[in-house]
Structure 1
Amino acid sequence: MASTRGQKDQADAEHDDRGGRDDGPPLKLHGAKRDNVLEIEATRAITEAEHQLGFLAALKQYPSATFWSLFFCLAVVMAGYDAQIITSFYALPAFQQKYGNLVRTSVGSFDFEVSAPWQTALGMGNPIGQVLGALASGYPLERFGRRWTLAACCIWSIGFVFVQFFATSIGMLCAGEILGGLAYGFYVVIAPTYSSEICPLALRGFLTTSVNLAFVIGQFVAQGVAAGLESRLDSWAYKAPFALQWLWPVILLALLPFAPESPYWLVRQGRKADARQAIVKLSSSTNPPDIDQVLLGIEQTDLLEQELEVTSSYWDCFKGVHLVRTEISVMVYLIQVIGGNPLIGYANYFFEQAGLNPSDAFNMGVGNTALGFVGTVTAWPLINYFGFGRRTIYNAGMLFMTLLLFIIGFLSIPTDNRAAVWAMATLMDIWTFAYQMTVGPICFVIISEISATRLRTKTIAIATAVQAAATIVTTVAMPYMLNADEANWGGKAGFLFGGISFICLVWCHFRLPESRGRTFEELDILFQRKVPARQFKNCDLLGEGETGTDAAKELA
């Protein structure tokens, strides 16, 4: 096996033969396998350096990467904000008078109300847009890169916020929601992809969990804005929240020209000089990493995936070992919906049942999103300070959340019990905290790590589309489950989601691998060897000599 330095000299020689040009495809280096067993020898020094780099040292070496990763997450704030704000409008008198119909209430008086079909249609605008936008994101992200695609989406969002702000009918508003939602599908693919590709291994967990924090911030801001405008009776009660959506894309567009492009994407485009310059911009000027070594590691990961014949089509996500990687990404994202989150979204409903007036119940909802914020921030020390693995945190969260759902179900069995309703609402808040500390943020870490770098945008797009499609289903189903004039399950829905959550927990035990502390190249090798998920943590690639290679053959 040629050494890392030898391979670099060979690549530099090829570069010189091309007259110093960096715009051609990278040299395809062979030797990633021995006796059909993938090895880590080619990048041993690079991989060891990644493993030895601590969290604080990584922050000092990559301050710009940290900033730009968090900056790209601003786009996700828009997605969380829009999904939360539109549903809060249904109880606003000004919105009801503008877009509702005059109906007779249960006490015989007349009042304005947005019809149930239109409520459903408006609520589906965001997830339908995400399904379409996520699936459409693959080509532009690979063709134009992360920066320019995000810039185009910001312009798109600005345009369709105009449609929402100036809508003269509920149909026009619904069209604005769906078309505006297309950009949200892009945002939730771009942010985790970009974060995972610009940061070192030590920062990957911290920065990719920030995607979930951005969702929570968007929801929290939406709840606060709606609560603050609840008493207004003019059109600004709903127009002001729409107008606030212009803030985020304007900030993004102002700074995007200064953001470095993903070095992984640049390497795949054959733009080695630009990739090197991007790494320089992402790292500290006073305490930089070994730029050439970082670039070589990116090139070697790309070359390994070329050796494994990884291309970048949607179909490749379902071929060979990549089917397993796609399955994992889809499931950890899908669990966010089918594992109980829709029930928790109705916490305000249970607060009202417990005797709170709608205004106080709404304020309790703001508290619920605040708990989500605290939970996500709590995930950071779990990942970085205490060093818990992704699999450990995710599975522990699933176990705790499953138990809570069953307890909520049992508490609903007594009828007309005010204390039991309060207990259910309180447990929903605890569930929210646990979810945002474990499954919520860790999901984004996993989907950013598990997929091959050449397939990352498309794998995340597929997972996003499936998750959004499941959201559409639950948006339709939940009112029929909980409404008094329908199934009237109430807290008994905890049994349904608890059962689904238990099945998901079993899947996690057998199928979810541990990706903590693994470079992208190491993950490529482990998946190609078909190492069982529960053995990922203990498979020592760097410690392998000839004996390690023989052991790997047995695993393959």
Structure 2
Amino acid sequence: MSEPLKRSKPDPQISSTPAPSSLAPSSPEPRELDADAPLTTTTTKSPLSSHPTSIAWSLFFSIGIILTGVNAQTIGGLFATPAFQRDFGYLYDDSYIISAPWQSGIIVCLPLGMFFGACSVGYFMDKYGRKIAFLIAATISATFIFFQFFARSLTVLLLGELIAGLVGGMFLALVPTYVSEICPPELRGYMTSSINLALVVGDLIGNGIIAGTHQITNHWAYRLPLALQWVFPLIMISGGLFAPESPWWLVRKGRFEEAEKSLRRLAARGVDTKKVLREMRETDRLELEMQVGSTYKSIFNKLNIRRTEISLAVGFGAVLSGLYLGAWTSYFFELAGLPQSQAFNMSVVFTAVGVIGNLLSWPLSARVGRRRMYNGGIGVIAVLMFIVGILDCVPDYESRPDVIWGQSALLILFFGIYNLTVGPVSITISSEISATKIRTQTIAVAAAVQSLLGLVMTVAIPFMINPDQGGWGGKVGFFFGECL
């Protein structure tokens, strides 16, 4: 290999293979940065105001992530809905509950399905493109809602949730890939972190719907929240037909004229799309010469293994921080001793604080940097979890409202900190760290492995907190604090 080519070789500890500086007019080339430096090339105002088309399509594709969040919170909230407990549960201590095995069985289908969805979507993305893969996922999403809405037994509901997980895994691997490929470098960090925002917005919508319907005394208390999910596939299928294909995918397929057309749709005014296309083709050529590869095996070779390890590690931290407690907030607050109506309201506040935290993460990441935000967030969350566990050890805490409200406030603070730091940054790091040629494979594997760990957490949490099983309640904070 010639000396100039060696100088072009990417450093896996810094960033992905250099991409064109642009869909932005006259922007400077991205400078190489250390791991603590903010990974951005322009001011906050410039990229967000100069690339409306890229932003619009990034947000549109994130609707799939919103649906994933809505479904997760809806299903979790149903377990604390009286009408659902009565129709699908059994009597325990003069009240109806859904047994822990069934709760785990249904909720576990989400990460289980996500694993298979994340593994399978890579094939569709590589063979048919990001746009077609998105439309396939959107169409399948209408199917899982059908099963859930017409379910008359927990078995059918379980099947629907398994399909929901499959779709969720497809979206969680597909959307970061698409967003990172249609956005210029200076915008990429904002838009990939907005994927976590979309998930939290979905959580907020799901909790809000459940809070508004849980007091209905008949079957519409749970059927209405499930039916409202049909809005999302309708929007995605209708709008997805007009979405631009990823120019990076088109370049790798040798469809250069189509790639330029896609660039013209996405680029800011004044951009020389022919020049951008030349830079993209050159980047693709360099990766071929450096044998970056484009298979799943390639992400574990000597050149890429460090990138893959980082992508996996940030996902592990996100799961072990207590992320999967979010699906059980209504039920958890109720077990902690809050009245049922207040438990649902606290769940809405829980996710609303998450939305605020995510919005604040954008300016913070520009000042602090990815690594400091991630590590700092992990440290703060560990402390909060230990305090939650300690409060649960207070004698007769069930009769002390101050302790119960203190626990609830700490969990809300935890979710705010998570979405300020760990949540958005982990997605951004995973999207940015890989070489462009294996971005699909790296993100898909990271999402699949994270789903497997999420599967373990999903099985474990109901058995930890349910009164007819472990009965840990708030002591679950010790577990997550120790994991971090």
Q: Indicate how the Cα distance of structure 1 residues 350 and 333 shifts in structure 2: closer, same or farther if over 3 A, else same.
A: same
Match of 2:109 among 122, 125, 135: 125
Q: Does 1:87 align with 2:69?
A: no
Q: Indicate how the Cα distance of structure 1 residues 139 and 342 shifts in structure 2: closer, same or farther if over 3 A, else same.
A: closer
Question: Counterpart in 1 of 2:386?
Answer: 406
Aligned residues: 461
User: What is the one-letter code of the residue matched to 1:241?
Assistant: P
Q: Does 1:379 align with 2:361?
A: yes
Q: CA deviation at 1:53?
A: 4.3
Structure 1: runs of 5 or more not aligned: 1-29, 502-556
Question: Counterpart in 2 of 1:494?
Answer: 477
Q: CA deviation at 1:146?
A: 0.5
Q: CA deviation at 1:43?
A: 8.0
Q: Indicate how the Cα distance of structure 1 residues 160 and 412 shifts in structure 2: closer, same or farther if over 3 A, else same.
A: closer
Q: Indicate how the Cα distance of structure 1 residues 350 and 63 shifts in structure 2: closer, same or farther if over 3 A, else same.
A: closer
Once the two structures are superposed, the pairs formed by residues 187-336 of structure 1 within 5 Å of their partners are: 187-284=171-268, 287-336=269-318
Question: Counterpart in 2 of 1:153?
Answer: 137
Q: Indicate how the Cα distance of structure 1 residues 437 and 195 shifts in structure 2: closer, same or farther if over 3 A, else same.
A: same
Once the two structures are superposed, the pairs formed by residues 96-115 of structure 1 within 5 Å of their partners are: 96-101=85-90, 103=91, 105-107=92-94, 112-115=96-99
Question: Counterpart in 2 of 1:357?
Answer: 339
Q: Indicate how the Cα distance of structure 1 residues 421 and 43 shifts in structure 2: closer, same or farther if over 3 A, else same.
A: closer
Cα deviations by residue, 1:17-73 (Å, 9 ceiling, x for unpaired) = xxxxxxxxxxxxx85x44855468x98995972435444333344210111011110
Structure 2: runs of 5 or more not aligned: 11-16, 31-40
User: What is the one-letter code of the residue matched to 1:422?
Assistant: W
Percent identity, aligned pairs only, is 40
Q: Could you tell me how far apart the structure 2 residues matched to 1:113 and 1:483 are?
A: 10
Match of 1:392 among 356, 366, 372: 372
Q: CA deviation at 1:348?
A: 4.6
Match of 1:49 among 23, 28, 44: 28
- For the 8 Å contact 1:350–1:421, the answer to whether it is kept is no
Match of 2:457 among 474, 478, 502: 474
- For the 8 Å contact 2:129–2:249, the answer to whether it is kept is yes
Q: Could you tell me how far apart the structure 1 residues matched to 2:362 and 2:105 are?
A: 37
Higher relative contact order (CA 8 A, sep 6+): 2
Q: CA deviation at 1:485?
A: 4.7
Q: Indicate how the Cα distance of structure 1 residues 115 and 408 shifts in structure 2: closer, same or farther if over 3 A, else same.
A: closer
Q: CA deviation at 1:340?
A: 2.7
Q: Could you tell me how far apart the structure 1 residues matched to 2:335 and 2:218 are?
A: 29
Q: Indicate how the Cα distance of structure 1 residues 178 and 349 shifts in structure 2: closer, same or farther if over 3 A, else same.
A: closer
Question: Counterpart in 1 of 2:155?
Answer: 171
Once superposed, what is the RMSD of the aligned Cα atoms? 2.4
User: What is the one-letter code of the residue matched to 1:420?
Assistant: V
Question: Counterpart in 2 of 1:135?
Answer: 119
Q: Could you tell me how far apart the structure 2 residues matched to 1:74 and 1:433 are?
A: 22
- For the 8 Å contact 1:197–1:262, the answer to whether it is kept is yes
Single out whichever of 294-303 and 145-154 deviates more from structure 2. 294-303
Question: Counterpart in 2 of 1:71?
Answer: 60
Cα deviations by residue, 1:194-213 (Å, 9 ceiling, x for unpaired) = 11111111111111111001
- For the 8 Å contact 1:379–1:437, the answer to whether it is kept is yes
Q: CA deviation at 1:86?
A: 0.7
- For the 8 Å contact 2:109–2:161, the answer to whether it is kept is yes
Considering only CA atoms, is the larger Rg found in Structure 1 or Structure 2? 1
Cα deviations by residue, 1:426-447 (Å, 9 ceiling, x for unpaired) = 1111111111100011111111
Cα deviations by residue, 1:372-409 (Å, 9 ceiling, x for unpaired) = 0110011111134xx32111211221222222223333
Q: Could you tell me how far apart the structure 2 residues matched to 1:344 and 1:164 are?
A: 21
Give the TM-score normalised by the residue count of structure 2: 0.89
